[in-house]
Amino acid sequence: MCGICGYISAQSYHGKAMIDSLHHRGPDGHGALEFQTDNRKVFLGHTRLRIIDLSENGRQPMTTDNEQISISYNGEVYNFQELRKRFLNDENFHSTTDTEVVLKLYQKLGMDFLQHLNGDFAFALLDRKQGKLWLVRDRAGVKPLYYWQQGSELVFGSEIKTLIAGGVPAKHRPEIWPAYFAFKYLPQQHTLYQDIHRLQPGHYLEYNFDTGSSHLHRYWQPELNEAYSRLSYPEAEEAIRETLADAIRLRLVADVPVGTFLSGGLDSSIIAAHLKEANDIRHYCAVKNEADLRKEGTTSDFRHAQALAEQWKLDLSPIAIGKDEANEQLIQKTLYYSDDLIADGSQIPSYLITKEAGQHSRVILTGMGADEIFLGYAGHMISQLSATMDRFPRGLTHAAAGWMAGLNAGKGKFKAYKRYLVKLGKYFPLGPARYARYNIVGDFDSALALFQHPDDSVAELVRSYFPGKDTFQEIFRFEWENFLVKNLHYTDRMSMANSVESRVPFLDHRMVELAYSLPHHYKLDRQLTSKKILKTSYQKELPSSILQRRKAGFGMPLRSILSDRNTLEYLLQPDWFAQFDAFSIPQIRTTMDQHLTGSADQSALLYALISWRLWMNAPSGEHGIASKP
């Protein structure tokens, strides 16, 4: 895991500043390659986090012996040792890194080599003989890569702040603001900045030196595999166990200590079950206090993780998260490292856990991705229930939807369940478009109501994912290109803020294709058993308390934190928004009152407002990227 940057341009950008901005991603060394070709300057930069081959032989940018091909590389190819034996037995190597294997695989196979890689990576590959530069991102988008292009000028880097440090203009896009508040992040390849884009997962950008032009190519996407779709239920269980076991095995490859996030939930417990015989693995768990849990209406993770640790004799470290940790300074810090604005309370515990874990473990395995591919979120259950309601008489279902929409979601017992029912009832009449609303955090309409003159672009974006043909395939695509991108984004940023590499076994591309191809009722049945086949696959390994427990969110207890008026006023400062004509201040105050009185749960939207204010009002000001505390 590292940081990469570079540019191709007739003018010089600030290469050193770009490298310096990525120090947290690679504190173990840095390097640069710079030369002129015709009328263009070419720069590749790198900061190194040593994970595989800790010697200086792994320094980057790395160049072939004939000096024709160079690479600046971030991440890991986990099957590099197998690929080296399969394709490169006759090659001479100067290191034991996966970087050099990637370089030589391209030299031997061309860009077709991407189909053989199993890993999480983003890299810039320069071929002087062909006069081309390739920017490549892994299949799931675990590792980040951004680029800016104007004419023949191309600037790229692991983070947006890297491009801006290099001299790329930081021009805001007010037209994209509603999308941020609706999603609580920027969807698809968008960012808050004009002409700065994320390279999409499973894509590469090809830049041609002769023409100064570039083209995007998709080299992979999840597709239905008929062999998987025909598996019986027991056969699918066996395939899941075998595939995940191998995915975990590959992700243990490291020359530094490895740990896990053990939340006590299903996904992280499955990973821990595969590792319970490994005495050198440390496990880390976030702990919320009881007062916060009562206000949230959720359950505790820690007691489940602690019980597993005692049963399996695991080395478990608890890390406190709660009101004391949700201060403005820490929010500001996570926004700085977040880089590409995200309003997600999970960033703070991710930051705190990796800060602690980084004292002992340079690599962390996480259960991220299992909920998306095995249908584990509340939105999936709402979607299943909504689809079931379609089979009943229209008058009955619309009456039931109206009753659900009118529930008071913020007060009394069963608050969490009522929140889901309110969303189900409110959006049930919308046809296929409802499924986007069910699977977006917070209330979609409330977010758009913040604006004086909202347009239909955000609603049209989400409608485009749901033509009404196959609901759960459409939900998968929607989350794969949006919600999962956001989750992977904060997982990478918060771990790399503490120079820790996060790895996600559930998003091994073989696992993704397997889960994608299985019938959806294997994953979520009509009794609303979420992640059903994942649970039954491991029912012999895990205690029933894990398999049957209610899902608990990983994030900060935002509902509790923002239920105090003084705290909310201090963090939000609603009158500050008056300087922007786009916002309705009365609606912002209405949103606050709804949350404080308990008539609606607006915690996600309020946190989005708080994050946006701190982002835009950062001391670094003109760029809108929070300054480093």
CATH of residue 352: 3.40.50.620
Per-residue pLDDT tens digits for 526-581? 899 999 999 999 999 999 989 887 776 666 677 778 888 998 999 999 999 999 99
- The per-residue pLDDT for 323 is 60
Same domain (yes/no): 207, 271: no
Q: Is the pLDDT of residue 14 over 80?
A: yes
Would you state the structure tokens that stand for residue 508, as one six-digit string?
Answer: 């091994």
Task: Work out the mean pLDDT of the chain and round it to a whole number.
Answer: 91
- The per-residue pLDDT for 446 is 95
- The per-residue pLDDT for 563 is 85
Per-residue pLDDT tens digits for 423-449? 999 999 999 999 999 999 999 999 999
Q: Is the peptide bond before 393 cis (omega within 30 degrees of 0)?
A: no
The edge-to-edge listing of strands for the beta sheet with 196-198 is 30-37, 40-48, 2-9, 153-157, 146-150, 196-198
Annotate 475-506 with DSSP letters as a single string. HHHHHHHTHHHHHHHHHHHHHHTTT-EEE-GG
Region of residue 414 (left: phi > 0; alpha: psi -120 to 50; beta: else): left
- The per-residue pLDDT for 481 is 95
Per-residue pLDDT tens digits for 30-55? 999 999 988 899 999 999 999 999 99
- The per-residue pLDDT for 627 is 45
Average pLDDT over residues 236-240: 98
Residue 192 lies in a domain: no
Per-residue pLDDT tens digits for 65-86? 999 999 999 999 999 999 999 9
Q: What's the CATH code of the domain at 135?
A: 3.60.20.10
DSSP for residue 96: S
Average pLDDT over residues 486-505: 96
Residue that is last in its domain, among 517, 547, 577: 547
- The per-residue pLDDT for 617 is 81
Report the alpha-carbon distance of residue 414 to residue 404 in Å, rounded.
13
Same domain (yes/no): 166, 237: no
Alpha helices in 172-319 (DSSP H): 177-183, 226-229, 233-250, 266-275, 290-296, 302-312
Same domain (yes/no): 209, 294: no
Same domain (yes/no): 61, 26: yes
Our count of domains for the chain comes to 2
- The share of the chain scoring above pLDDT 90, in percent, equals 79
Per-residue pLDDT tens digits for 312-342? 999 999 887 766 666 778 888 898 999 889 9
Residue 577 lies in a domain: no
Q: Is the pLDDT of residue 216 over 70?
A: yes
Q: Is the pLDDT of residue 624 over 60?
A: no
Average pLDDT over residues 235-242: 98
Report the alpha-carbon distance of residue 208 to residue 135 in Å, rounded.
12
Contact 535, 269 (CB under 8 A): no
- The share of the chain scoring above pLDDT 70, in percent, equals 94
Residue 471 lies in a domain: no
Could you tell me the CA-to-CA distances from 465 to 212, 448, 513 in Å, in that order? Answer: 34, 19, 20
Average pLDDT over residues 196-225: 96
Would you state the structure tokens that stand for residue 302, as one six-digit string?
Answer: 């820690």
The residue range of the domain holding 302 is 226-374+484-547
Contacts of 445 (CB under 8 A, 6+ apart): 426
Same domain (yes/no): 12, 98: yes
Contacts of 391 (CB under 8 A, 6+ apart): none
Residue that is last in its domain, among 527, 547, 567: 547
pTM across the whole model: 0.94
Residue 495 lies in a domain: yes
Residue 469 lies in a domain: no
Residue that is last in its domain, among 547, 562, 589: 547
Q: For residue 588, what pLDDT band results from cuts at 50, 70 and 90? A: very high
Same domain (yes/no): 70, 164: yes
Per-residue pLDDT tens digits for 393-402? 999 999 999 9
Would you state the structure tokens that stand for residue 483, as one six-digit string?
Answer: 């919600």
Report the alpha-carbon distance of residue 28 to residue 362 in Å, rounded.
12
Average pLDDT over residues 476-501: 95
Residue 83 lies in a domain: yes
Same domain (yes/no): 363, 504: yes
Residue 145 lies in a domain: yes
Report the alpha-carbon distance of residue 532 to residue 239 in Å, rounded.
15
Average pLDDT over residues 164-179: 94
Per-residue pLDDT tens digits for 338-395? 988 999 888 888 998 899 899 999 999 999 999 999 999 999 999 999 999 999 999 9
Same domain (yes/no): 210, 252: no
- The per-residue pLDDT for 291 is 60
- The per-residue pLDDT for 332 is 86
306 vs 620, more confident:
306
Same domain (yes/no): 19, 92: yes
Same domain (yes/no): 214, 263: no
Q: For residue 629, what pLDDT band results from cuts at 50, 70 and 90? A: very low
- The per-residue pLDDT for 599 is 85
Residue 91 lies in a domain: yes
Q: For residue 413, what pLDDT band results from cuts at 50, 70 and 90? A: low
Same domain (yes/no): 262, 205: no
Same domain (yes/no): 33, 125: yes
Q: Is the pLDDT of residue 180 over 50?
A: yes
Contact 196, 168 (CB under 8 A): yes
